């Protein structure tokens, strides 16, 4: 890896200029993006002059990212027209990921296909500035690893405690604008996630995670498998409404195990990656416990359960795509 970094440094001496360091290190737009007053004149901000690939090479914080793009032969893409948003791991992040596998001493030791998938997981197919990121949302990446029909996997954005991705990686430098998009530097290499990992990282599904944990690795292990799976995931508020329906239940652990298992399995469709566009009016979906859910699109996206006591349940978030399936969030716990 040191030799690779040295080679990239040589490229800099061939005419690439270091990116100006006047960018603020917080999660804010650069002051240089604003017009500058000089007397009675206003000097407009300077337009970006370099591509994403050129910025990655020129900036000492992203040397390893530049090496990775070169090894994966992705430079032509990120030198070409955009727009893209790249969450670029810094050099230490790549050092850490290389240390996680004893067979990797440098970036070129990583299988090219695996490296390409990994890099694509850090890229969105549109330009997203820091001010455009909102809390508890998902960005659709270029990564399609593990998906049956090349569906693009997602990463989660959380800005409640600073800007983080997948509840783990911090954005340390924001808004390095390029001619074909923008780079945000992060302090960790992100790994594409399966549906269990997505639920674990999203604070809106902590009750669901707790319910799954009642059965140890039985359900989480199954849902971490190859799939594909479609999961209708109740939010924390949905589980709270279920608990409120029985005065003897203070937490999901108070629900009888047999009842809880049946309920959880009723939220899973096995063998299908059913994205929102594939759902049809009156479509019957067969659940993991061999029961049915019916799709009702007459008043928005809803599910009709087998329970006569339950009204139609709203699908409130769609197409949270993982490597082995897709999650749709629902606002009620589905009752079989």
Q: Which of 151, 186, 221 is the last residue of a domain?
A: 186
Give residue-wise pLDDT tens across range 224-278.
Answer: 999 899 999 999 999 999 999 999 999 999 999 999 999 999 999 999 999 999 9
* Residue 30, in any domain of the structure: yes
Question: CA 17, CA 76: separation in Å to the nearest integer?
Answer: 20
* Residue 36, in any domain of the structure: yes
* Residue 335, in any domain of the structure: no
Same domain, 165 and 226: no
- Residue 9's pLDDT is 41
Q: Which residues contact 271 (CB under 8 A, 6 or more apart)?
A: 228, 229
User: How confident is the model over 75-85, as a mean pLDDT?
Assistant: 93
Residue recorded with tokens 């997981």: 121
Grouping H, G, I as helix, E, B as strand and the rest as coil, residue 160 is: strand
* Residue 336, in any domain of the structure: no
- Residue 185's pLDDT is 97
Q: Which residues contact 314 (CB under 8 A, 6 or more apart)?
A: 300, 301, 302, 330, 331, 332
* Residue 246, in any domain of the structure: yes
Question: CA 192, CA 201: separation in Å to the nearest integer?
Answer: 12
Counts of helices then strands in the chain (DSSP H, E):
11, 16
Same domain, 121 and 228: no
Better pLDDT: 103 or 20: 103
Enter the DSSP assignment of 156: E
Chain center to CA of 80: 24
Better pLDDT: 24 or 202: 202
Split into its structural domains, the chain has a count of: 2
Same domain, 150 and 211: no
Q: Which of 138, 160, 186 is the last residue of a domain?
A: 186
Same domain, 124 and 25: yes
- Residue 31's pLDDT is 32
Q: How confident is the model at residue 18 (pLDDT cuts 50, 70, 90)?
A: very low
* Residue 121, in any domain of the structure: yes
Question: CA 180, CA 272: separation in Å to the nearest integer?
Answer: 36
Same domain, 303 and 160: no
Same domain, 163 and 267: no
pLDDT at 29 over 50: no
pLDDT at 327 over 90: yes
- Residue 41's pLDDT is 53
Which CATH number is 79's domain given? 2.30.180.10
Mean residue pLDDT of the chain comes to 88
Same domain, 144 and 210: no
pTM of the model: 0.84
Same domain, 233 and 172: no
Same domain, 157 and 248: no
Domain range for residue 103? 2-186
Question: CA 243, CA 240: separation in Å to the nearest integer?
Answer: 5
Same domain, 169 and 289: no
Same domain, 23 and 156: yes
* Residue 18, in any domain of the structure: yes
Give residue-wise pLDDT tens across range 33-53.
Answer: 444 444 455 555 677 889 999
Same domain, 17 and 86: yes
Give residue-wise pLDDT tens across range 178-211.
Answer: 999 999 999 999 999 999 999 999 999 999 999 9
Residue 31 tokens read as 């002051």
Q: Which of 133, 154, 186 is the last residue of a domain?
A: 186
């Amino acid at each position: 890896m040191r030799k690779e970094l040295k080679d990239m440094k040589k490229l800099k001496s061939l005419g690439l200029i270091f990116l100006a360091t006047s960018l603020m290190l917080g999660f804010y737009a650069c002051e240089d993006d604003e017009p500058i007053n000089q007397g009675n004149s206003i000097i407009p901000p300077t337009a970006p002059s370099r591509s994403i690939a050129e910025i990655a090479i020129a900036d000492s914080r992203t040397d390893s990212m530049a090496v990775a793009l070169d090894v994966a032969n992705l430079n032509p893409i990120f030198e070409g027209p955009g727009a893209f948003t790249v969450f670029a791991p810094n050099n230490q992040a790549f050092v850490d990921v290389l240390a996680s596998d004893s067979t990797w001493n440098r970036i070129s030791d990583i299988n090219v296909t695996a490296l390409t998938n990994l890099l694509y997981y850090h890229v969105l197919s549109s330009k997203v500035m820091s001010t455009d990121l909102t809390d508890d949302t998902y960005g659709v990446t270029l990564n399609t690893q593990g998906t049956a029909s090349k569906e693009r996997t997602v990463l989660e954005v959380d800005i409640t405690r600073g800007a983080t991705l997948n509840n783990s990686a911090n954005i340390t430098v924001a808004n390095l604008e390029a001619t074909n998009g923008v780079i945000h530097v992060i302090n960790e290499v992100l790994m594409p996630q399966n549906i269990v990992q997505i639920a674990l990282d999203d604070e809106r599904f902590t009750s669901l995670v707790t319910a799954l944990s009642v059965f140890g690795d039985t359900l989480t292990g199954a849902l971490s498998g190859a799939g594909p799976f479609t999961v209708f995931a109740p939010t924390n508020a949905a589980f709270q409404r279920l608990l409120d329906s029985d005065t003897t239940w203070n937490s999901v652990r108070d629900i009888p195990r047999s009842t809880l298992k049946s309920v959880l399995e009723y939220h899973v469709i096995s063998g299908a990656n059913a994205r929102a566009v594939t759902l049809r009016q009156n479509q019957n979906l067969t659940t993991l416990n061999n029961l049915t859910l019916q799709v009702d699109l007459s008043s928005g996206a809803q599910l009709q359960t087998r329970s006569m006591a339950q009204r139609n349940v709203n699908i409130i978030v769609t197409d949270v795509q993982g490597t082995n399936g897709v999650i749709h969030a629902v606002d009620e716990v589905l009752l079989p």
